[in-house]
Amino acid sequence: MRFHLKVWRQEGPEAPGRFFDYDVDDIIPEMSLLEMLDKLNEELIKKGTPPITFESDCREGICGTCGMVVNGSAHGPQPKTTTCEIRMRHFQDGEAITIEPFRAAVFPVQKDLIVERAGLDKVIQAGGYTSAYTGTHADANAILVPKDDQEYAMDAAACIGCGACVAACPNSSAMLFVAAKIAHLGTLPQGKPEEASRALSMTEAMQEEGFGACSNHFECQAVCPKGIRVETIARLNRAFLKASLKRLA
Amino acid sequence: MAFLSNPIGKKMLMALTGIVLFLFLVAHLLGNTTVFGGQGWINAYAEHIHSAMFAPPLWAARVVLLACLGLHIALGTLLFLENTKAAPTKGTFVTYKEAGLSSRTMFYTGLLILAYLIYHLLHFTFHSVHASISVSAFPPDAQGRPDLFRSIALSFQRPVIAGTYLLAMAVVCLHTFHGVFSSLQTLGLPGKASLPVLKRAGQVLATLLAAGFALVPVAVLTGWINL
């Protein structure tokens, strides 16, 4: 397969960036998008051109490190799929593919396709944990959790913190990310006691870091590689309301 | 104050004031239906709500509505500016998957509705635009009531005025098409099963409301309502 690529290249955080055109050939349909970029980079290195800089780690869709905007979609055109899991067979032979970094004021471009996502870490540090001492391994089923709650918490815990929701949101809001953490931790007995303070501190940190507010566009759920749904945002809103009333009382 | 400095807090007050304004529109529409009863009905209705008996609740409603409108505009502008700052660019190649025209134009349709609201009040409440066809320009009807019916009929017989109102109702529809459901989502109402139902219900409600308002100028233009 052959493709015509338009890739965003930028020397550093302060440098101006622009698109560069590349033609790639002899691409095997089973290759992932990142492997296609690897192949292009080998050719660029041979020509003495600096390779395209991008992030990746597990390359199996569970770490949240990779992530770029492919043809206008965060992570690419395939629903519930991270960039590393996109296969070239998902594109038409000869197709033009536009690749850009995630865009948000809180995600400054570091180089080419790499953005700084520390803002999400700051939000986690504000309350995305349980501070209960859990001791050594408890017996399985020592704390009983209803099946529905287990499922719900597990679905929310699938969030890999990749930042695609922020990249896709017209307001660069991190509400789906925060909502996933609140739903994941707040549904389980160990995380329940801190649910109120968590809802307040994480949303306040979200604003402090410069993420926008939620306008219910729902672009986030359309690009989430882990299928986190916007109902979790409604749940976060309920948790926030409860916490605010509790603070008043 | 901590509530309002939080992004969700601001959104919740936006949602609540929006719901109050929407409920006012529903009440306004119910009042409008009296025009289909003819001159006697709407003139009686208008005289009733302006009578001394209704003055205290009318003024209370005006104060609440004005406060809601002010808050809705102030918070909406603040959120718009904050969100624009958070997302100065979304890249060169943007595709939308779930966000429709309605949700993406909320701030702008809001501004248009404000402009329309000022025009509408100057027209039917303060009689300072289209003064020659305003209520104060006509003699009272046979029962001695202000002849609102005549003013409505003569106003909407002018295609430019009717067209302006119809256009404004299209904008109101666009704004509430996203607004009704969005406010429920912000207040945390939807669950997994109810979310798509509430979303559709909000859209249907918004369309019906705007269509209901649009029916009056259309009825005059087509001669269904005439003097």
For position A2, what pLDDT does the model report?
97
Q: Which domain holds residue B74?
A: 2-86+102-221
Query: For the segment B164-193, what is each residue's pLDDT rounded down to a tens digit?
Result: 999 999 999 999 999 999 999 999 999 999
Residues of chain B in Cβ contact (below 8 Å) with chain A: 2-3, 5-12, 79, 82-83, 85-99, 103-104, 106, 178, 181-182, 185-192, 195
Average pLDDT of the segment spanning B141-152: 94
Average pLDDT of the segment spanning B32-45: 95
Q: Provide the percentage of residues in chain B whose pLDDT is more than 90.
A: 93
Question: Are residues A105 and B87, on separate chains, in Cβ contact within 8 Å?
Answer: yes
User: How far A38 CA lies from chain B's nearest CA (Å)?
Assistant: 23
For position B90, what pLDDT does the model report?
74
Question: Are residues A100 and B185, on separate chains, in Cβ contact within 8 Å?
Answer: no
**C-alpha distance from residue A165 to each of A161, A180, B21, B220 (Å):** 9, 11, 31, 49
User: How far A134 CA lies from chain B's nearest CA (Å)?
Assistant: 31
Question: Which residues of chain B make contact with A222, given a CB cutoff of 8 A?
Answer: 97-98
Per-residue pLDDT of chain A (249 residues; tens, 9 = 90+): 999 999 999 999 999 999 999 999 999 999 999 999 999 999 999 999 999 999 999 999 999 999 999 999 999 999 999 999 999 999 999 999 999 999 999 999 999 999 999 999 999 999 999 988 878 888 888 889 999 999 999 999 999 999 999 999 999 999 999 999 999 999 999 899 999 999 999 999 999 999 999 999 999 999 999 999 999 999 999 999 999 999 888
Other C-beta atoms lying within 10 Å of the C-beta of residue B17? 23
User: How far B102 CA lies from chain A's nearest CA (Å)?
Assistant: 9
- Return the residue in B11, B14, B97, B176 with the most chain A beta carbons within 10 A, the one to mutate for interface testing: B97
Residue B93 CB-density burial (10 A; 0-12 exposed, 13-18 middle, 19+ buried): middle
For position B164, what pLDDT does the model report?
98
- pLDDT interval class at B95 (50, 70, 90): confident
Helices B159-186 and B7-32 pack at an angle, to 10 degrees, of 140
Q: How far apart are CA A76 and CA A58, in angstroms?
A: 17
- The residue in chain A having the minimum alpha-carbon distance to the alpha carbon of residue B195 is A231
- Asked if residue B67 belongs to a domain, the reply is yes
For position A140, what pLDDT does the model report?
81
User: How far B185 CA lies from chain A's nearest CA (Å)?
Assistant: 6
Q: Is A94 left (phi over 0), alpha (psi -120 to 50) or beta?
A: left
- Asked if residue B227 belongs to a domain, the reply is no
Question: Which residues of chain A make contact with B98, given a CB cutoff of 8 A?
Answer: 217-219, 221-222
User: How far B30 CA lies from chain A's nearest CA (Å)?
Assistant: 30
- Asked if residue B35 belongs to a domain, the reply is yes
Burial A51-87 (b: 16+ CB within 10 A, else e): ebebbbeebebebbbbbbbbbbbbbbebeebbbbbbb
Tokens at residue B83, please?
């969100």
Contact status, residue B133 vs residue B151, Cβ threshold 8 Å: yes
Domain count across chain B: 1
- The residue in chain A having the minimum alpha-carbon distance to the alpha carbon of residue B185 is A234
- Asked if residue B44 belongs to a domain, the reply is yes
Tokens at residue A218, please?
């729902």
Q: Residue B93 pLDDT more than 80?
A: no
- Asked if residue B166 belongs to a domain, the reply is yes
Q: What is the CATH number of the domain that holds B133?
A: 1.20.1300
Tokens at residue B223, please?
């001669």
For position B1, what pLDDT does the model report?
73
Question: Are residues A105 and B8, on separate chains, in Cβ contact within 8 Å?
Answer: no
- The residue in chain B having the minimum alpha-carbon distance to the alpha carbon of residue A243 is B3
Complex prediction ipTM: 0.92
Question: Are residues A72 and B9, on separate chains, in Cβ contact within 8 Å?
Answer: no
- pLDDT interval class at B110 (50, 70, 90): very high
- Asked if residue B70 belongs to a domain, the reply is yes
Q: How far apart are CA A113 and CA A159, in angstroms?
A: 21
- Asked if residue B139 belongs to a domain, the reply is yes
- Count Cβ–Cβ pairs < 8 Å, chain A vs chain B: 138
What is the set of domains in chain A, with CATH numbers? Answer: 3-111 (3.10.20.30), 117-248 (1.10.1060.10)
Nearest to A72 among B8, B86, B94 (CB): B94
For position A62, what pLDDT does the model report?
96
What is the pLDDT of chain B when averaged over all its residues?
A: 95
Q: Residue B65 pLDDT more than 90?
A: yes
- Asked if residue B94 belongs to a domain, the reply is no
| A3-9 and A69-70 beta bridge pairing | unpaired
Question: Are residues B82 and A216, on separate chains, in Cβ contact within 8 Å?
Answer: no
User: How far B205 CA lies from chain A's nearest CA (Å)?
Assistant: 18
